[in-house]
Amino acid sequence: MDSGPRIPRAPSLTLRDVERRRLVGWRESIDAPTRRLANQAIGERLEAVLSHHPPGVLALYWPIRGEPDLSGRLDRLAQLGWRFALPRVTGRSQPLTFGGWQPGQAMREVGYGLMLPEPFEVIMPDVMVIPCVGFDQRGFRLGYGAGFYDRTLSDIAFAARPVTAIGVAYDGCEITRFEAQTHDRPLDCVLTETRLIEPRPPAAT
């Protein structure tokens, strides 16, 4: 007996998927005044951390889905000698590439609200600022699930020329019970509006 067309089941969600949706939803719900103050504080902490590095190329990101917006600090960082770059996805299983960028430069949209400098001139960063959907005290990051930043941090080119990886997130995105996967790469530090989290290696037993 024909019961009619079948309704496809929704794909099952992993615990990571559920946490990712929860955190992005919370992040997007932050009111404008609170967000502005938090972004300012994160930008100040970023400047303080970068003061311990010689100025070079700073890889940033184009903020989407409620990610911290650090644009208010760029003029100050430029005055201190930093140059900027933005990431580009080159393939599903490939590391990111970075193109030199400066505020006011011509841009083109590439989907999902992301923008890239035009023309895109590849440059190697010295420091990467990486947005976190979630993070934990060990410096592990929950991203959107594609693994681009993890592959980038593991890439041979970066291994031969170490790059400092700085995560940025709001305090409310901390995850207390997070199981890192084998491909996850810990960050050198995580900045929030109230904290600088510097992971320490586990004590020897």
The answer to whether position 8 is within a domain reads no
Q: How many domains does the chain have?
A: 1
Give the pLDDT confidence of 83-119 residue by residue, as tens digits.
999 999 988 888 999 999 998 898 898 877 788 999 9
Structural domain boundaries, residue 22? 15-197
* pLDDT for the residue 201: 60
| pLDDT value at 153 more than 90 | no
Looking at residues 61-65, what average pLDDT do you find?
95
pTM, two decimal places: 0.87
The answer to whether position 6 is within a domain reads no
| pLDDT value at 32 more than 90 | yes
The answer to whether position 113 is within a domain reads yes
Take residue 15 and report the two structure tokens written for it.
Answer: 């615990």
Give the length of the chain. Answer: 205
The answer to whether position 100 is within a domain reads yes
In percent, the amount of the chain with pLDDT more than 70 equals 89
Looking at residues 53-57, what average pLDDT do you find?
96
The CATH number that applies at residue 132 is 3.40.50.10420
Looking at residues 127-144, what average pLDDT do you find?
95
* pLDDT for the residue 51: 96
The answer to whether position 10 is within a domain reads no
* pLDDT for the residue 5: 41
Q: Could you give the CA distance from residue 152 to residue 84 in angstroms, rounded to a whole number?
A: 17
List Cα–Cα distances, 25 to 18, 54, 184, in angstroms. 11, 37, 23
Q: Could you give the CA distance from residue 169 to residue 134 in angstroms, rounded to a whole number?
A: 7
List Cα–Cα distances, 68 to 27, 64, 119, 132, in angstroms. 9, 9, 26, 9
* pLDDT for the residue 157: 66
Of 145-149, 159-163, 193-197, minimum mean pLDDT range: 159-163
* pLDDT for the residue 2: 45
The answer to whether position 2 is within a domain reads no
| pLDDT value at 6 more than 70 | no
The answer to whether position 4 is within a domain reads no
Query: Maximum distance among all alpha carbons in the chain?
Result: 74
Q: In angstroms, what is the C-alpha Rg of the chain?
A: 18
* pLDDT for the residue 199: 87
Which positions ≥6 away from 64 have C-beta within 8 Å? 112, 113, 114
The answer to whether position 59 is within a domain reads yes
Label residue 168 by pLDDT band (50, 70, 90): very high
Give the pLDDT confidence of 175-189 residue by residue, as tens digits.
987 787 777 889 999
Looking at residues 34-40, what average pLDDT do you find?
98
